[in-house]
Structure 1
């Protein structure tokens, strides 16, 4: 039997994959070391939360603008430039920590710069796979990229980030700077990527950013399947992040777990996600996409219902593993459909609209979770999420019938 990832994806893809692996490791390290740094400067919970929000805020402010620029500029050069800039910013923060001159405003400023760069780099790099990987191999390519996130960002990097911070507070930020620099160097060697069309290539003056952003929004709204998927994820992220904003309290008070038990539940998410990367290519090859997406919505409902009803840690952990598998399979399917259907010249704008809805929902949910739990009790966010996802599943069920990974005129039109 051939290995799931034995297909020849090409040298350019493996450069992209290696860059993604290094970047995910660096991002995961920063996710742990950043809050630890702020907590070492000040004991203010608001300051710690602000450091996280400072990196999320650019997605709300600049996601749509970044999508338009990703369609105007050479995407490879844009990613290289942004990663070089982020490497410089992180090196500066590492130096400030090493010389004991770091302040909370400096940390917030650097994290805001990192988040702004992320809106550009992530949006531009989303177009790499359809440019360098043949369509039949894209599910495998996307699964491998998701494996980087699940195994490195969510699993390996977290304890590494804490250990590096204990070793010396400046070290994790210096390591993160090196990951950005290494990623930029690798992306610069990719030769097969075609640049996005440049303004004026056809001799006609290009419209303004607002007009081009509007074109991306309208394109997504006209595509029934991708529109359904985008709004499904937006609502799903609102209720998921609202529910899991208080997950640490849920684990301790509802399930009776301590710090170690809570950590095991977090590992269950990563374990499920990694299992998803192993089974996604086979599932996508053998099961129709519409069935996978519809099943995924039922799993979402089941997750929240299990959390609302159960007091057994093993039942919750098992459901979390299943949910982790679903999120990876769902992500691979949706990403592959988007890579197929979105025109290359509009990929940045459409992807940015999708990201704006998805990440905007996550930010809104994080703000709502604590308020809901405070007002209505710790279990309320999970019941609300159960009902909301049941309604979403009912609304999306019929449009998802059109989901397929085969190239057809109907799929291209989103009918």
Structure 2
């Protein structure tokens, strides 16, 4: 492994990294800017909240078909097409402002279209990586990619959105239009063919339903991948349950912590800072501790992340736990994504990624509902304690399949196919 660390990731990877950074910067601007623009057309809380739903709904509706298409067509071209759609939709916002035709319903259409394009882009982007770098470079490549995505999406994009909205609605749409356009140009420099071979094993041209079913079966029958998906879904359930109600625990004079809104923002940012640090050190931690120990460490820090408010209101201790939890979450993401890229046959990788994300992320709205229900019935601290216990149970009972030997064996088997 020592030699691979010093080997360059290559020109194609640098262009992909650049394109991803620009795309995620545009995403970070849009996700914050859309609600700020929307208040100029409506003061309805329901309609404003609905914009967030419109952005994420395509993941539930189109994730599986997007994965199937990523295995049928050239993945780079799908990413180019997705960014082209983003440019067109954002430009439509500029045109609507120029013609004085803006409305909340136009924003809904733009949000849904951008969410659909994101579904296609992200699925294809995760599936293209094993064709860009060598298998033993995946952890380093993914950690750097996640680092730039996190920085642009969560640190640079949101404050930039605030300045753009203050400058005017047209500027709000113009900036992401330009960013997605530049990302599209950068992606053009990623040379090569990124389609998958349609071998005799697939039986020739198959239906979309058959392709999707094959991806779901592969995930469910592969013990390692199934375990990772279920554990990721469990952590996502727990974190969404805890963070949905944490604002009630932290903000306001009548809350347990008594924080102001700015202080709450700073406290919450510690998780993102931890995630950034985790993305920078993930490949080194993997080499030092091994993947099995790193997975267990990540689950332990996740339990600390969701459970710490159950035992203290001290913002320093909670911030430290949030930072540590952010590191652990990113360690898990980098290693899990790299592992599934290594052990999934290329012709199935798009469908595997979409099936995995549907199972892993489909628990998020359920967790939010559970957090609200538990808080309503027995109190806020019980939410944090219950979710910490859930993650600890996952750590104790759900990681038996995640051994270094099992992961090495799965990689050897895939390499021989």
Query: Do the two structures share a fold, i.e. TM-score over 0.5?
Result: yes
Q: Distance in 1 between matches of 2:370 and 2:183?
A: 36
Q: How does 1:7-406 map to 2 (within 5 A)?
A: 7-197=7-197, 205-252=204-251, 253-402=255-404, 406=408
Q: In the TM superposition, what whole-angstrom CA distance separates every residue of 1:216-245 from its partner, at most 9, and x where no partner exists?
A: 111111111110010111121122112111
SS at match of 2:191: coil
Q: Distance in 1 between matches of 2:246 and 2:96?
A: 34
Question: Shift in Å at residue 377 of structure 1?
Answer: 2.4
Question: Shift in Å at residue 62 of structure 1?
Answer: 1.1
Q: Distance in 1 between matches of 2:148 and 2:194?
A: 24
Question: Shift in Å at residue 193 of structure 1?
Answer: 4.4
Q: Distance in 2 between matches of 1:231 and 1:284?
A: 21
Please report the RMSD computed on the Cα atoms of aligned residues, expressed in angstroms: 2.2
Alpha carbons 1:21, 1:148 under 8 Å: kept: yes
Q: In the TM superposition, what whole-angstrom CA distance separates every residue of 1:287-337 from its partner, at most 9, and x where no partner exists?
A: 210000011111111222212211100001001110111111111100110
Alpha carbons 2:343, 2:410 under 8 Å: kept: no
Unaligned runs of 5+ in 1: none
Alpha carbons 2:161, 2:172 under 8 Å: kept: yes
Unaligned runs of 5+ in 2: none
Question: Shift in Å at residue 187 of structure 1?
Answer: 1.6
Q: Distance in 2 between matches of 1:352 and 1:409?
A: 20
Aligned residues: 410
Structure 1 pair 409/130, CA: closer, same or farther in 2 (3 Å)?
closer
User: TM-score by structure 1 length?
Assistant: 0.93
Question: Shift in Å at residue 103 of structure 1?
Answer: 1.3
Question: Shift in Å at residue 389 of structure 1?
Answer: 1.1
Q: Distance in 2 between matches of 1:290 and 1:165?
A: 45
User: TM-score by structure 2 length?
Assistant: 0.92
Alpha carbons 2:301, 2:328 under 8 Å: kept: yes
Alpha carbons 2:70, 2:350 under 8 Å: kept: yes
Structure 1 pair 362/349, CA: closer, same or farther in 2 (3 Å)?
same
Alpha carbons 1:296, 1:330 under 8 Å: kept: yes
Structure 1 pair 47/395, CA: closer, same or farther in 2 (3 Å)?
same
Q: Distance in 2 between matches of 1:368 and 1:14?
A: 42
Alpha carbons 1:290, 1:403 under 8 Å: kept: no
Q: Distance in 1 between matches of 2:398 and 2:349?
A: 24
Q: Distance in 1 between matches of 2:264 and 2:399?
A: 34
Structure 1 pair 403/29, CA: closer, same or farther in 2 (3 Å)?
farther
Alpha carbons 1:336, 1:405 under 8 Å: kept: no
Question: Shift in Å at residue 116 of structure 1?
Answer: 1.2
Greater mean alpha carbon deviation, residues 118-127 or residues 379-388: 379-388
